[in-house]
Chain A
Amino acid sequence: MTPELYSSLSLALPELIIAGGALVLLMIGVYSGERANSTVTGLAVAILIGAGAWMLLFGGTGKAFGNVFVSDPFAVFMKVLMLIGSAVTLVMSVGFAKAEKFDKFEYPVLILLSTVGMMLMISANDMITLYLGLELQSLALYVVAAINRDSVRSTEAGLKYFVLGALSSGMLLYGISLVYGYTGHTGFDAIAATLSGADRQLGLVFGLVFVLAGVAFKISAVPFHMWTPDVYEGAPTPVTAFFASAPKMAAMALMVRITMTAFEPIAADWQQIVVFISIASMVLGSFAAIGQKNIKRLMAYSSIGHVGFALVGLAANTETGVRGVAIYMLIYLVMTLGTFAFILAMRRKDGNVEQISDLAGLSTTNPMMATILTILMFSLAGIPPLAGFWAKWYVFLAAINANLYALAIIGVLASVVGAYYYLRIIKIMWFDEPVGGFLPMAGELRLVLGASGAFVLFYVFFGGPVGRVAEAAAKTFF
């Protein structure tokens, strides 16, 4: 083995562990049949944790495979978030799988393969790596959205996601081909070098727009958000929890990397685009969520809004801005996982319920669940001193430092509007007539919900160290 290949492989070892692990688990699942579901899920979580631990303890930084794969502090930070999202959603799926006949061993295998794709997206330093990672991730997601194949809504979600996802892949490829045509390179570093040396041409801006449109689809930013509510509502709840957490981390990391490295010399061009999709996402996320009755749909609009807030930090194009995005994604991840642990626990004797009205009077029937969800909802709304407030604080701070006053003001107004529907849930839980409690929560859901609530409540005490880690990650680009 040549020394370069050896160093490349050691940089990409976490990806190799997960890909190899997925193949082994596939064999275990195929040969032991239905019995192995819980074993496969457990091993999948162990593999994710192992890969993450290896990356944190021994993972180096550098570029691999001829400059197409990069491992740097930003990539490690986002990969850790993404791995936490994947592992926690897998753990949360166990109880649901038993209760709702959702026990297919392929589910954890597909989640692992999708995780490999997301890690490649985060580490992409070349358009081809970007595309391959994105397709690996998306293809697995299309399948898991439709994995409950006997349910019409699940298959509809999968098909809708597939058709729209294929369209967005097409736009992304078209953009990549234009960028390649106008710069002559596919590597991010080489594209940046070409762009900084010459005047930018109009055709290149078209390429930039198409590339950003393709990535914006994956983070479900307005105007590429149409699929989100239907897919979130139709997919089985553990799959929705996964959709709302890990892929958002990967796609946002990709958005940051592609703008901060490849298109860094034409920042003025992409900043306009990011400002527009940020404002549109914040406003639509706030207003469209008001009328929702299904809590999964509500979380879909909530995630659209939160992506808009995170993009405020990116629009600033500064180190504090990228730090803000990193912190925002971390806090969003924790809040989302906690909320979905709660949604998965909304079980009555006759199955899971998803309507917001089912929460009525939860404070009398299950005060502990109601209290933690109240904390999470306050945090999602951005009420100080909870974590959600600090997330918004950092991105708005960056926007104001970069003189984007209009963006910051619209953002604050949108978050005021958005607070309404979070507070409405709290009102329903505490002041409406009880409609009957839920079954006791499973242990793993209780753990996730409790940890998420504690993180959000006490973030103010350890926000400093978290901020420093995020700052080190953001320094990668400056």
Chain B
Amino acid sequence: MLNGLEAAFFYLFAFIAVASAFMVISARNPVHSVLYLILTFFNAAGLFLLTGAEFLAMILLVVYVGAVAVLFLFVVMMLDVDFAELKSGALQYAPIGALVGLILAAELIVVTGGYAFAPQLATAVAKPTPDIATRTNTAALGDILYTDYIFYFQVAGLILLVAMIGAIVLTLRHKEGVKRQSISAQVARTPETGMEIKKVETGKGI
């Protein structure tokens, strides 16, 4: 059971997470929706921290807040979609949404209520090794990721490399007439090559 400070923080994070999740779908301005989504992610990360999964918490912030949510923000700002019009009819579907939600909740209750753990489960499930008290999540993951799972890790890296090459091959275009930086040429500029001094006679142009 939760108690004391831990309970207080749990309810704080959980309440803000649920409230901001509600705001994500009810905010009028899509940019506000994305900002509320980021707030939801932060609170979910806080919940992870409370359970001792600090690695997941940080990954959630780095990946979802740092990359995915910012991408959403870009998309929302760059695409000219009239979200207000899209949402105009949303409220009339609320009863159906509530019904679906109720059915899902009922099913979940039935499933979890009738669920019995297998007797051998306690021994079969691997205990968190090493103990959280002696080694942090991140270090423990690193211990096996770069040893036992080095093969999978490297293949996953190759897949990401292919994705990167593919994106560049299919989309990068070298446009003519674009001024590009050439560091060596720019640094090697001298007053002699960069300037041309002319004497201008009085009353005449160049």
Contacts and interface: CB of A to CB of B under 8 A. Distances in A.
A248 to B, nearest CB: 20
Given A65-B151, A69-B151, A128-B152, A147 B158 contact: no
Contacts of B163: 139
B169 interface: yes
A109 B165 contact: yes
B28 to A, nearest CB: 34
A231 to B, nearest CB: 16
A110 B98 CA distance: 49
A66 interface: yes
Contacts of A158: 170
A147 B151 contact: no
A65 B147 CA distance: 10
3 tightest A-B CB contacts, nearest first: A143-B166, A65-B151, A132-B155
Interface string A350-385: 000000000000000000000000000000000000
B156 A104 contact: no
B158 A143 contact: no
Given A136-B158, A136-B159, A110 B152 contact: no
Contacts of A116: 158
B160 to A, nearest CB: 9
A19 B158 contact: yes
A142 B170 CA distance: 11
A117 B169 CA distance: 19
B162 A113 contact: yes
Interface string B129-171: 0000000000000000000101110011011011101101110
Nearest to A146: B170
Nearest to B156: A132
Contact of B165 (A66, A69, A106, A132): A106
Contacts of B161: 23, 113
Interface in A134-150: 135-136, 139-140, 142-143, 146-147, 149
Contacts of A135: 159
Chain A interface secondary structure, helix, strand, loop or mixed?
helix
A469 interface: no
Contacts of A19: 158
Given A19-B158, A110-B165, A116-B158, A149 B170 contact: yes
Contacts of A109: 165
9 contacts: A8-B151, A23-B161, A65-B151, A110-B169, A136-B159, A136-B162, A140-B162, A140-B166, A147-B169
Contacts of B152: 68, 128-129, 132
A26 interface: yes
A313 interface: no
Contacts of A132: 152, 155-156, 159
B159 to A, nearest CB: 5
A279 interface: no
State the majority secondary structure of interface residues on B: helix
Nearest to A68: B151
Interface centre among B148, B161, B162, B163 (most CB of A within 10 A): B162
B166 A142 contact: yes
Interface in A100-143: 104, 106, 109-110, 113-114, 116-117, 120, 128-129, 132-133, 135-136, 139-140, 142-143
Contacts of A104: 169
B8 to A, nearest CB: 38
A158 B170 CA distance: 10
A114 B170 CA distance: 17
B156 A66 contact: no
Contacts of B150: 5, 65
Interface in A246-282: none
Nearest to B163: A139
Contacts of A5: 150
Contact of B169 (A64, A106, A114, A136): A106
B148 A66 contact: yes
B162 to A, nearest CB: 5
Interface in A152-198: 158
A128 B155 CA distance: 11
A133 B155 contact: yes
Contacts of B169: 104, 106, 110, 143, 147, 149
A68 B169 CA distance: 32
Nearest to A126: B152
Nearest to A140: B162
Output the residue of A64, A136, A158 with the most chain B CB within 10 A.
A136
A396 B169 CA distance: 45
B159 A139 contact: yes
A116 B162 CA distance: 11
B184 to A, nearest CB: 15
A135 B162 CA distance: 10
A206 to B, nearest CB: 19
Contacts of A65: 150-151
A257 B138 CA distance: 36
B68 to A, nearest CB: 19
A116 B165 CA distance: 15
B102 to A, nearest CB: 27
A324 B104 CA distance: 51
Contacts of B151: 8, 12, 64-65, 68-69, 129
A120 to B, nearest CB: 7
A5 B159 CA distance: 22
A129 B150 CA distance: 12
Contacts of A128: 152
Given A19-B158, A132-B159, A149-B170, A26 B165 contact: yes
